Structure 1
Amino acid sequence: MLFDSILDSSIGKVPAVLICSVVAVILGFIIAKCYMQTGKYTKNFVMTLVLLPPLVQVVIFAVNGNLGTSVAVLGAFGLVKFRSIPGTSKEIATVFLSMAIGLICGMGLVGFASVFTVFICAVYLILAKSSFGECSEFEKTLKVTIPENLDYSGVFDDIFEKFTGKVILNRVKTVNLGSMYELEYAVLINDINSEKQMIDEIRCRNGNLSIVCCKNLEATGEEL
């Protein structure tokens, strides 16, 4: 049955642990392969996704029934976050999935672990390949550098009114030893083809200083 642990079966502890380990490795490969289909990756990271389920499975089996050791292992898992570089939400979710599958395999629920892995990976791929959650191409982050003698309050209002439907001044930052200001706007451009014309008019207003127009930084700043 799906929720029956093979550790409670009559096949013996050693064969049961071996079966759990093999299943954990296979499911780790499935998770890694799924992650590889959704964008850029590194070999070290996908290797980690493969190895995490069997490692967690062995640890869970080893501490089964020992509360003190279980708490120590939980603390060790918590240190993983602080001993590694920050990752994106997608990477953290995938690592958590690998650890969860290892935990389920460590309980001997190989059938449930297999079904759960296939289900989550299928949902993962569907979300990754669809347009769900994507920001509109008309949403941009605009960074404009202006000299310190130019009042940034409303200096580009007429231009924004002409080319954008919404504009928010997110940040004002001094640059170049305080001799200039860098203004960061979140803008919703009315027509993507008019982006160059908008930048040209801003260049005439800011003395041809630096202007950066890119994808919405709030959408890409997903590091956890």
Structure 2
Amino acid sequence: MLTSIFHAGTFYIASVTAALGVSFALGLVIAFLYKLSGIHIGSFAVVLAVLPMLVACVIMIVNGNLGASVAVLGAFGLVRFRSAPGTAREIGFIFFAMAVGLAAGMGFLSLAALLALAAGMAILILEKMHFGDDLSPERELRITIPEDLNYNGIFDDLFQIYTRHARLDRVKTTDMGTMYELSYRIELRDQEKEKAFIDELRCRNGNLSIILGLVQREKNEL
């Protein structure tokens, strides 16, 4: 498994073809895992499919030269190739593809396949376990009220009945200043009473817009 198909810096067509073929096949597997594990971008999946083969090609070109280490660092610098910030998930898949390409480019095809299999299984298991999902019970509540309604403490009695805690995060004007939008962070006592809670709020805000949903977290960019 830890024996390279390349010997003493000598390359044969069969060995090079095997390395490129295996790296491309593993790249397809990585791209499939990326598409399977969540929301995906089509063009990024294509890049993932060919990235291991490109990295393997770079490693084979510089193999045996004094600048090999510099070239490897340059290859890993490709992680910044995207003009837009990438999410942690996308950056992780880029490193995954590069590691497989590096192993294949150095001739360790079995190691590259084992790495792809082990990391792929780990990704699938963690996805099935919903590892890293936001399980916070907090909800975001947005209530629109008329500009002439004093919002200080107007919903406090309802919050005491229907929520474990509630705090006012933001107040902003809407509709050319004729309305206020109040943004709260709340935790409901009983999910089954969500409709009753909203109906009570509607009686207080004049049946204007009320939005109750999940808290919008910051995008996990790197």
| Alpha-carbon distance, 1:67 to partner | 6.1
Inter-partner Cα distance in structure 2 for 1:32 and 1:152: 51
> Structure 1's 173 and 59: CA in aligned 2 closer, same or farther, altered over 3 A?
farther
Asked if 1 retains the 8 angstrom alpha-carbon contact of 2:19 and 2:107, the reply is yes
Unmatched tracts of structure 1, length 5 or more: none
Give TM-score, length-normalised by structure 2: 0.82
Q: 1 CA distance for matches of 2:69 and 2:29?
A: 33
Q: Which amino acid in the other structure matches residue 31 of structure 1?
A: I
Q: What are the equivalent positions in structure 2 for 1:147-166 lying under 5 Å apart?
A: 147-166=146-165
Unaligned runs of 5+ residues in structure 2 are: none
Secondary structure at the counterpart of residue 118 of structure 1: helix
**1:182 matched to 2:181:** yes
Contact 1:138 1:192 survives alignment (8 Å): no
SS in 2 for 1:125: helix
Opposite residue 164 of structure 1, the aligned amino acid is T
Q: 1:20 to 1:170 in 2, by over 3 A?
A: farther
Match of 1:143 in 2: 142
Q: CA deviation at 1:153?
A: 3.8
- 1:104 and 2:103 are equivalent in the alignment: yes
Aligned residues: 220
Percentage identity across paired residues of the two chains: 39
Give the aligned residue type for 1:70: A
Q: Does 1:222 align with 2:220?
A: yes
The CA deviation string for residues 13-65 of structure 1, in whole angstroms up to 9 with x for no partner, is 44332222111111112112222322343443322221111112212332443
Is the Cα contact below 8 Å between 1:143 and 1:182 reproduced in 2?
A: yes
CA RMSD of aligned residues (A): 3.0
Task: Give the distance between the partners of 2:188 and 2:123, measured in 1 at CA.
Answer: 31
CA distance, structure 2, for counterparts of residue 6 and residue 14 of structure 1:
12
Matches within 5 A, 1:59-78: 59-64=58-63, 65=65, 66=67, 70=71, 73-74=74-75, 77-78=78-79
Cross-structure match for 2:116: 117
Task: For 1:70 and 1:10, locate their aligned partners in 2 and report how far apart those are by CA, in whole Å.
Answer: 16
**Of 17-26 and 91-100, the range deviating more from structure 2:** 91-100
Q: In the alignment, what sits opposite 2:14?
A: 15
